[in-house]
Structure 1
Amino acid sequence: MRSGKRVLTIRVSGKERKKKVRNLLLDLAHFRNMLLIFITKYKELCGKYPLHQSILYGLVAKTYTGKYRQEFEKVLENIESNSKLRELLEELKIQKEKVDNAPLIQYVIRQVIRDFTNFFKSFQSYRENPDKFKGIPKPPKPKKLRHLMNFSAEGNANTFKQEKDKLVIRLRNDKYLKVKLPKDFPYRVSSIRLKLFGDDLYVELVYEQEVEARNPAGVCSAGIDIGLDDLLSVVSENPEIKSFIVSGKEIKAFNQWFNKERAKLMSQMDYLRNEIKSGKYEDTKKLERKLRELEIKEKVLSAHRKRWLENNLHKISRKIVDLLYETGHKVIYIGKNAMESKNGIDLGRKTNQEFVSIPFRRLVELIKYKAQQYGIEVIEVDESYTSKTSPFADIFKVRETRDKRLCQGERKGNTFKDNVLNKVFHADLVGALNIMRVGAKLLKLGFYENLKSFFVKLCNPVRLKLIDFFYKVSPKSLWIGGSRREVLALAGWSEKLGCLNTFES
């Protein structure tokens, strides 16, 4: 057994309940803005950023009880000698009293220090290698609260109390938020996060869960090629498993719908902004109110997209890992060019909307996370020349020399013409197979000797829409061959007999 942190996300409902949480988060965001202004002004006047957590919290507290008394007195002396810094510090103290939640104030202070530390690291990296950046890194700055649509704060065990089927979160001195826990929730919550995203509010519960340590059920490998129309093209080393392709058209269509709806809203917002700036209207309050409504609507739309994608990516990753575990796989090799090629990419307006906005990296991370529970290793592989090289060619020599003549084939669209066998294969399946060859550092795989199995894998995949992949596909439906094999598969052959020699007897 091993323990690991898990997060349960609960969406806050109810107008009054949402208002209490939103007001608290806005006050915390205002405190953060004021703290950033104070730190920046102190650096400007005194030549040094005051980024010690104990000292910063001591400045806004009634009394300082930390062990860095000498450093604290020096900072306080610098503040007392400047009227602007004194004024900013008094405003910070007033805002802290308004928030009235010490653990959340401490979290904001730690977060601001972390933001500045990341800025220093980025700036140092920029000085050493400026070509890695699109521009000069800038220090953290305040955000306008009227445009604030994404903010979070984390509270420790002092901010909530767990009672049987509910969690009572202390927001302020006299205001609480009660969250109903799932039925028979057996875990002890260690911390909570309050999150604002668009018009939605969430409570994230962090808890420890013991997970049974599992070992892979077999010894096989699988290769996965990630794409757009064909989201996942999977080829297994197991000679008895068909290749399958999970469609990405549903995600692509949803993404196109989102981009279209968002473009309409952005166009309307641009029109209103131009009207406000034109000076044609003496009273622009109605236009500003309408602009604010559209801004909120745009953030609500973005929040819907985030929830939809996150839900489906979790389902896809869970299903793919379960299938590969149940069919005796130990290692998964995934091509990584789909993620890396999006850095700074400009493929035109239409392709950018379809390709760049789909979170392939998130999908890979979820597959890794879920595969770890089964003891399955996930390895990312550079997929250069994988979908353009024959499965019988020396791909290592091709990648080393970059000589296309050694590929022994040609790709056109989704098809690959193989000159070795004079056959036409699906290019993404060839890519997945070659990703597996590169990852495993093998020129040939075990099923190469059985040409019938080889052709079935690369020419006749099982094509699955998302709905079918979620609810209809099973290890039995991916099996090549007769009923005896299906019975063995359903009986747990991978655990008892191994993967490569199961059906030799």
Structure 2
Amino acid sequence: MQSNRVLNIRISGKERKEKVRKLLLDLAHFKNLLILLIRRYKELYGYYPTDQSILYGLIKEGEYSSKKEEKLKSFREVKENILKDEELTRFLKALKEQKKKTDNNYILQQVIRDVVKSFKSYRKAYKEYLKSPKKFKGTPRSPKPKKLKYLMNFSVELNVNTFKRLEDSILISLRINNKEFLKVKLPKDFDFEVKSIRLKLFGTDVYADVVYKAELPKVEKTGKHVAGIDLGLNNLITLLSTNKDLKSFIVSGKEIKAFNQWYNKEKSKLQSEIDTIRNKLSQVEDEKEGESLKQLITEKLIRLKELSAYRKRKIDNDFHKISRKVVDVLKATDHKKLYIGKGATESKDGVNLGKKNNQHFVSIPFRRLIELIKYKAEELGIKVFEIEEPFTSKTSPFADIFEVKRIGKEYLKAKEEGDKDLLKELLIKLKKLTQAVRRRRGVLKDKVLDKIFNADCVGAYNIIRVGENSPRLIKDLKLLFIKLCNPIRFKLTDFLYKVSCESLCECRGIAGSSSLLSRVESF
């Protein structure tokens, strides 16, 4: 079985970086001009001209040719309409000049394709919005140009006409007539078929993403255990397994959270300095002093971009290592399925968790972590499923989680509709059904058993119960109490560099009264 994979290569060397960066900025400027032309055309004539061949025909040298009469007619209509308006004519002239400057028709065609795709996606979303506005957080907006000065992220895909595979490297043609090339060295023993190359700008960093086909190894799916992961901020990963030998464990997210706080402070500080200098610049009359302040602003903006690029590299590196470690542990302990709660990713969508928590949740890319775990696990024959997790960490592990979720959906619907009487009634039902009360410091108290559990472990266990559609997965009650009450906690660095699969196995017993166990037997 073959699968597409991406090899991310960071371009080094000042001259090499600048060469690629200039090309990408030229392409971004071309994209901005094309978007402005299409938006202006819509204002004047009531529709978006998003035929790819017509758009390319407008800027290419020579006559537009097509075997279809309808295409020729449409092209002439669009061109005549453009020439009627002074602003559209100026945009078209600027596009032709930018095409010459870019000097790579193959890449420009891809940029045009991306712009067309963006407008088509917008129109599709807008039609869907008119049918059911409640599905959207706001009115979909058409693509708009981005200021190159503040451009943080831009990428373009190259087809096979723009690069050549050598023995141990790839030669990329950046500008054709100027014969400007970029040579990217590949890792040793890289024997995979390269499908395409993606040049990417992020902050001050430039990358060449090599998209290649990899033959996935045949893995015998002999696993018999399932595991659940609850994602969070302070506790980044809480993992609970049905394997009796694998201890529940928590990987701290405080290191990533602290790093994110540092980044936000540094970013805010730089932004404040830039704003102060801009205010000063608006009051300065001396030309030399003004030029000096402009140079200082440029330096601060570069520093801001460098900071963002560093943050991306750091978090991406940590998430790669975390996902690899988690997947290796699951494979070594004979797992066949993994269920991941996706509440951390959905918390970004309009949920108010308070100013500080909102900042952390939006900044930390949980979706990236899930995707990394997913593809690495599936390569080793472990199936991964994402589970909606409302009420999973607020419900007793011995309560009927399926009834709680059913009533919970009705409660959320009533909340959306603003039915206060129904809300009160459903809230009373939910409190009875969950059989638990959430306490501070991440603990959950079962009101029936009078027993305290770790809330995140309960969340992970309930995620498995929902995924497996089973009310009771771990029959041994003493073992279940151990898994829910006694997770091992790891700092991020300890988990990455000191933990082995052996250290996570062989759960030890805990003291528990026989009367408590007998009280649970009835559930």
Deviation at 1:276, TM superposition (A): 2.7
User: 1 CA distance for matches of 2:9 and 2:88?
Assistant: 41
- 1:425 is matched with which residue? 453
SS in 1 for 2:475: helix
- 1:162 is matched with which residue? 165
The question of whether the paired residues in 1 share the 8 Å contact of 2:247 and 2:483 is answered with yes
SS in 1 for 2:56: helix
Q: Are 2:276 and 1:271 aligned?
A: yes
Q: 1:355 to 1:89 in 2, by over 3 A?
A: closer
Deviation at 1:83, TM superposition (A): 5.2
The question of whether the paired residues in 1 share the 8 Å contact of 2:247 and 2:507 is answered with no
The question of whether the paired residues in 2 share the 8 Å contact of 1:255 and 1:353 is answered with no
Counterpart of 2:131 (choices 115, 128, 133) is: 128
Structure 1 residues 328-370: Cα deviation after superposition (integer angstroms, max 9, x where no partner): 1111122222221221233333323333321112211222222
- 1:315 is matched with which residue? 321
The question of whether the paired residues in 2 share the 8 Å contact of 1:5 and 1:209 is answered with yes
Counterpart of 1:397 (choices 398, 403, 414) is: 403
- 1:477 is matched with which residue? 503
User: 1 CA distance for matches of 2:451 and 2:84?
Assistant: 83
Letter in 2 for 1:39: I
Q: 1:85 to 1:438 in 2, by over 3 A?
A: closer
User: 2 CA distance for matches of 1:135 and 1:388?
Assistant: 30
- 2:91 is matched with which residue? 88
Letter in 1 for 2:268: A
- 1:43 is matched with which residue? 42
- 2:491 is matched with which residue? 465
Counterpart of 1:365 (choices 338, 362, 371) is: 371
The question of whether the paired residues in 1 share the 8 Å contact of 2:165 and 2:171 is answered with yes
Q: 1:93 to 1:398 in 2, by over 3 A?
A: closer
SS in 2 for 1:448: coil
Q: Are 2:390 and 1:388 aligned?
A: no
Q: 1:40 to 1:180 in 2, by over 3 A?
A: same
Deviation at 1:108, TM superposition (A): 0.8
Q: 1:317 to 1:481 in 2, by over 3 A?
A: closer
Q: Which moved more, 1:244-253 or 1:274-283?
A: 274-283
Structure 1 residues 168-210: Cα deviation after superposition (integer angstroms, max 9, x where no partner): 1111122111111111211232211111111111111111111
- 2:185 is matched with which residue? 180
User: 2 CA distance for matches of 1:372 and 1:110?
Assistant: 32
Counterpart of 1:354 (choices 350, 353, 360) is: 360
SS in 1 for 2:506: coil
Letter in 2 for 1:4: S
SS in 2 for 1:119: helix
Letter in 1 for 2:244: P
Q: 1:406 to 1:139 in 2, by over 3 A?
A: closer
Counterpart of 2:435 (choices 408, 411, 414) is: 408
Deviation at 1:84, TM superposition (A): 4.7
Q: Unaligned stretches of 5+ in structure 1?
A: 483-505
Structure 1 residues 10-29: Cα deviation after superposition (integer angstroms, max 9, x where no partner): 11111211221122112112
Q: Which moved more, 1:422-431 or 1:4-13?
A: 422-431
- 1:3 is matched with which residue? 2
Q: Are 2:232 and 1:227 aligned?
A: yes
- 2:119 is matched with which residue? 116
Letter in 2 for 1:308: K
Letter in 2 for 1:12: I
Structure 1 residues 249-297: Cα deviation after superposition (integer angstroms, max 9, x where no partner): 1111111111111111111112122223346666522222211211121
User: 1 CA distance for matches of 2:447 and 2:117?
Assistant: 56
The question of whether the paired residues in 1 share the 8 Å contact of 2:348 and 2:358 is answered with no
The question of whether the paired residues in 2 share the 8 Å contact of 1:398 and 1:404 is answered with no
Q: Are 2:106 and 1:103 aligned?
A: yes
Aligned-pair identity (%): 54
Q: 1:479 to 1:146 in 2, by over 3 A?
A: closer
Structure 1 residues 201-253: Cα deviation after superposition (integer angstroms, max 9, x where no partner): 11111111111232433121111111111111111111222111111111111
Letter in 2 for 1:56: L
- 1:297 is matched with which residue? 303
Q: 1:208 to 1:75 in 2, by over 3 A?
A: same
- 1:22 is matched with which residue? 21
Deviation at 1:144, TM superposition (A): 2.4
User: 1 CA distance for matches of 2:39 and 2:345?
Assistant: 36
- 2:475 is matched with which residue? 448
Letter in 1 for 2:50: L
Letter in 2 for 1:156: N
- 1:503 is matched with which residue? none
- 1:495 is matched with which residue? none
For normalisation by structure 2, the TM-score amounts to 0.86
Q: 1:140 to 1:419 in 2, by over 3 A?
A: closer
Deviation at 1:137, TM superposition (A): 2.8
User: 2 CA distance for matches of 1:127 and 1:308?
Assistant: 41
Letter in 1 for 2:293: L
User: 2 CA distance for matches of 1:191 and 1:250?
Assistant: 36
Q: Unaligned stretches of 5+ in structure 2?
A: 408-428, 509-523
User: 2 CA distance for matches of 1:415 and 1:80?
Assistant: 69
Over the aligned positions, Cα root-mean-square deviation in angstroms equals 2.2
User: 2 CA distance for matches of 1:86 and 1:397?
Assistant: 64
Letter in 2 for 1:328: D
The question of whether the paired residues in 1 share the 8 Å contact of 2:436 and 2:445 is answered with yes
- 1:237 is matched with which residue? 242
Deviation at 1:101, TM superposition (A): 0.5
The question of whether the paired residues in 2 share the 8 Å contact of 1:390 and 1:420 is answered with no
Q: 1:48 to 1:389 in 2, by over 3 A?
A: closer
SS in 1 for 2:262: helix
Q: 1:359 to 1:88 in 2, by over 3 A?
A: closer
